[in-house]
Chains A and B, each alone.
Chain A
Amino acid sequence: MKASTAKRNRLVTGLLFLAPSIGGFLLFTIVPLTLSFAMAFTNWDVRRHNMFRTESIEFVGWENFQRLLSHPAFWQYLSNTLFFMMGIPVAIIGSLLAALLLTKDLRGVGSLRRIHFIAVGVLLISLIALHLTGFDFGGMKFMIALLFGGILVAGFLGRSTVYRTLFYAPHFTGGVATFLLWKKMYNPQTGPINTALSPVVSSIESLFQWLPPVAGPILALVAVLLGLTTLGLLHRKLGQAWLDAEAGRGALLALGLLSLFPTAMGFRWMQETWLAPLWLVGAVVSVGWFMARPMRQQPFRQVSAGFGLMRLALPLSGAVVAALLLIGLGLVAWRLPLMAASGEMAPPDWLADYHWAKPAIMIMAFWAAVGSNNMILYIAGLTNIPRELYEAAEIDGANRWSCFWHITWPQLAPVTFFIVVMSVIHGLQGGFEMARAMTQGGPAGATTTLSYFVYIEGFESGRLGYASAVVWALFAIVMFMTLLNFKFGNQNVND
C-alpha cells in the first residue's frame, strides 16, 4: 500500500516537471500529427470549404495518394529532391577533410618575429603571383593579398579557432540572407561569378577555335587515357588498404557512387537523352551494391566464397562507376571544340538555366555544409580516437593511407552513421528555402523539391488534403531511407 503511494507520488512529481513541455508537445506535435494523417484522406480544399462556400469535407479514401502517384510533377519533384541529396556524400567528405585539417597540430610556427617575416613574405609572393596572372581589377589584388595575409597571421596567433570560425560562418549565417547573397552572385549579367568567369571562358574558347575540329575525338581519347592512368595510380596507391579495410571499402564505394552523378549530370552538354541511360546504370549499380551487402554476412560469405561472387560484385560496380566517369570526361573533351567552333561557349546562366540551376544550388549548399555541425562532430570524433592506436600502427610501419582506413575511418563510423542518418532526413525535406528565395522552384520546376511542393499545395493553392497526402508520402520515404540506413549503415558501427 505504502509502496504504491510512493510510486504515485513519484509519477506525479515527474509529470509535474514534464507538464509544460508535454502540454505543448501534445498540442503542437501529437494533435497536428493525428489530424494531418486524417486530412490526407479528405478532399479538404480551402477554395471549396471556406466561410462563403460550406461544402462539407468528405473522406475520399486513397484518392489523394492515387492522384499523387499519377501526377508526373510529383515524380519530377521527387527526383529533384533525390538529385539534391547526391550532394550529401560530397559535403560529408568535405566536412571530414576540413575536420582532419583542423585537428592537425598547428603549433610550432615560431616566434612573433618569424610570423611577421612569413606574413610579409606571403603578402609579397601573392601580390607578385596575382600580378603575373593578370588578375588586375583595380585594387582587387591588393585586397585579396591583404585578406590572405591577414587570415594567415590571425591563424598563426589564434590557430584552429580562427579557421574553424571561417569554415563555420557560412553554416551559422545560413538561411534566406545567404541565399539572397548567392542569388545576386549567380546573376548571369551582373554577378561576380560570371564577371570573373567570362574572361576565362573566352580564352578557352579562342584556344579551342584555334584547334581543328578533328581535335575533338583525339582530345576525348587523351582525356579517357589520362583518366584511366589516374584511376590506375589511385588503385595502386590504395592497394592493399582497399582490399583489407572492411569498414571503409563499402562506404567509400557508396560515397563514390553517389558523388559521381552531380559531377556527371551537371554538365550542360549531357542532354536529356544522356540522362536516361546514366540513371539506369546508376540504379542497377546501386541495387547491385545493396544486394551485395547482406551477402558479405557470415553464412552467405562462406557459400559465395567458392564462387567468388562477392569478390566480383565490388570491383564490378567500381568499374561501372569508373566507366561512367570516363564517359563523362570524354564527352566533355569531345564537345568542347565543337562548342567553341559554333561560338556557343559562354559562362552558364546558373539559376536561370534548366540544367545548371540544380548544380548551382548544390555548389552553394556545399559551401554552407562543409563547415557545418558535421565538421564539429568529426572534430570531436577525431580527438576522441586513442593516440596509442596510431603509435602502434606506426611501429608496424603503416603508412598514412592505411592508418586512415584501418584506424581513423572505422573509429569514426558511429559519427559518420549519425551524420548520414540526419543528413538524409534533412535532405529529403530540404530545398524549400532555396526554392522560395532564389528560384521560385524554376526554371520549369528544375529546383522544386518535395518540401516546396508541399508549400505550394498547402499554402498557395490551398489543397490541404492533397498537401497532407504529399507530406505523408514524404514521411514514408524518410522512414524507409532511415530504416535502410539502420539496416545497412550500422553494421560497421556495432562491431
Chain B
Amino acid sequence: MSWLPKTELNPGAPRSTLRYHLLLTFLGLLMMLPFVWMVLTGLKPLAEVANESWIPSEFKWGNFKEVFSVIPFGRFYWNSLLVASWVTFLQVITSSLAAYSFSRLRWPGRDKVFLLYLSTLMLPGLVVVITNYQIMIKLGLVDTLVGLVLPSAFTAFGTFLLRQFMLTISPSLDEAAEMDGASKWRIYLDVILPLCRPGLIALTIFTFVGNYQSFFWPLVMMRDQEKYTLPVGLLFFDSEVGQSTHLLMAAVTMSVLPMIILFACLQRFLISGIQMGGVKG
C-alpha cells in the first residue's frame, strides 16, 4: 500500500522508498549517459574519440578554447543571446498587454478575438513560414537580426499563458484600485504585472530557451556566417569539420550546459507555467 499517502493507518516503512530511489537513479543515469559521453568526448584528444573507454587519457581542456578559433563560436553565442533576449523582451511586453486586455477589460467582441488567437495555437507554424520569408524579402530584412526577431515577437501562446495567470488574480483588487482613481494603465503596471510575476518569469524562460534553440527561421533567414545563431552555427560546424568529433562535442557541451543549469535553478517557475498553460486551458 505504499502508493497511498502516509496516514496513521498506513505509516509506511522507511525502507519502502529505497527501491523507488534506486529505480529513479537508474533511469536518471540512463537519461544522463548521452550527456556524460558528450562532456567526456569534448575533453578527448582526436585520436581517442573512437575508443571503447569514454574516459580520455588526458583531459584536454584546450579543446574548449580551440572551438573558438576554428569557428566564430563566440559570435554565434552572442547572436543567439541577442536574438533570444530581444524576442523575449518584446514578447513579454506585447503578450502581457494583450493578456491584460483579454482578461481584465470588457469590450465588445473581446471573446471572439480571443478565440481567433486561440485557434492559431493549433495552426502549423509551417503554414506561414514560406510567406513570412517572402514578406521579409519585400521588407529587405533577410539576413538581418531584426528580421530574425520580428516574426517571433508576437505569439498567441504567450498571450494565452499570461491570460490564464491573470484570471487567477481576484478582480476585487483592480476594482479597489479603480475606486482610488487609478487609470487602466496604472492598474496594469502597478497591480496586475507585479501579481503575475511567476507567469512572467515562466514566459520569459520559455521564450528565451525556445528562441535560443530555434532553428528553422534562422536557417532560412541567415546568409552571412557572422550572423548565424548557435544551432545554425553548430550545423555549419558539423558540415565543415565533421571529422573533429571532439571539438564538435566541446561546442555542443558549451551550448547545452547553460540550459541544464538554467533549468535546475528556475524549474519552480517553469513547472507552474507549464501547468497553467496546459491543464487549465
Q: List residues of chain A with CB under 8 Å of any chain B CB.
A: 7, 10-11, 13-15, 17-25, 27-29, 31-33, 35-36, 39, 98, 101-102, 104-110, 118, 122, 137-140, 143-144, 147-148, 151-152, 155-156, 161-170, 172-178, 180-185, 187, 189-190, 192, 195-196, 367, 370-371, 373, 376-377, 379-381, 384, 387, 390-391, 394, 400, 403, 414-415, 418, 425, 428-429, 432-433, 436-437, 451, 454-455, 458-459, 464, 467-468, 471-472, 474-475, 478-479, 482
A391 to B151, CA, bound (A): 52
A47 to chain B, nearest CB (A): 15
Q: Which of B63-71, B90-98, B171-179 contacts A (4 or more CB under 8 A)?
A: B90-98
A-B contact pairs, 21 of them (CB 8 A): A13-B184, A23-B154, A108-B16, A108-B17, A148-B25, A152-B25, A163-B28, A166-B31, A175-B231, A177-B230, A177-B255, A184-B245, A370-B31, A429-B125, A436-B235, A437-B235, A455-B220, A458-B129, A459-B133, A471-B130, A478-B122
A29 touches B20 (CB 8 A): no
Q: List residues of chain B with CB under 8 Å of any chain A CB.
A: 1-7, 12-14, 16-18, 20-29, 31-32, 34-38, 41, 49-50, 52-55, 93-95, 97-98, 100-102, 105-110, 113, 117, 120, 122-135, 150-151, 153-154, 156, 159, 184, 188, 209, 213, 215-216, 219-220, 230-232, 234-235, 238, 245, 248-249, 252, 255-256, 259-260, 263-264, 267, 271, 274-275, 278-279, 281
A367 touches B31 (CB 8 A): yes
B183 to chain A, nearest CB (A): 9
18 other contacts beyond A29-B154, A101-B20, with CB at 8 A cut-off?
Answer: A17-B188, A20-B98, A21-B154, A25-B117, A102-B24, A138-B53, A143-B55, A148-B29, A151-B25, A167-B31, A184-B248, A377-B279, A380-B275, A458-B130, A464-B134, A474-B124, A474-B126, A479-B122
A377 to B275, CA, bound (A): 6
Given A147-B29, A180-B238, A471-B130; A32-B124 close (CB under 8 Å) = no
A457 to chain B, nearest CB (A): 9
A135 to chain B, nearest CB (A): 11
Chain B residues contacting A139 (CB-CB under 8 Å) are 53, 55
B17 touches A173 (CB 8 A): no
Of all chain A residues, which has the CB nearest B279?
Answer: A380
A46 to B105, CA, bound (A): 46
Chain A residues contacting B98 (CB-CB under 8 Å) are 17-18, 20-22
B127 is contacted by which of A98, A106, A152, A471 (Cβ under 8 Å)?
A: A471
Task: Identify which of A36, A156, A177, A425 gathers the most chain B CB atoms within 10 Å of its CB.
Answer: A177
B18 is contacted by which of A118, A390, A428, A459 (Cβ under 8 Å)?
A: A118
Of all chain B residues, which has the CB nearest A21?
Answer: B98
B132 touches A14 (CB 8 A): no
Chain B residues contacting A152 (CB-CB under 8 Å) are 21-22, 25
B154 touches A25 (CB 8 A): yes
A-B contact count (CB 8 A): 314
B36 touches A147 (CB 8 A): yes
A107 to B95, CA, bound (A): 40
Chain B residues contacting A15 (CB-CB under 8 Å) are 101, 107
B113 is contacted by which of A18, A20, A28, A429 (Cβ under 8 Å)?
A: A18
B242 to chain A, nearest CB (A): 9
B5 is contacted by which of A105, A156, A464 (Cβ under 8 Å)?
A: A105
A377 touches B124 (CB 8 A): no
Q: Which 9 A-B pairs have the closest CB atoms?
A: A24-B154, A14-B107, A21-B98, A166-B28, A32-B131, A190-B50, A175-B213, A17-B101, A176-B231
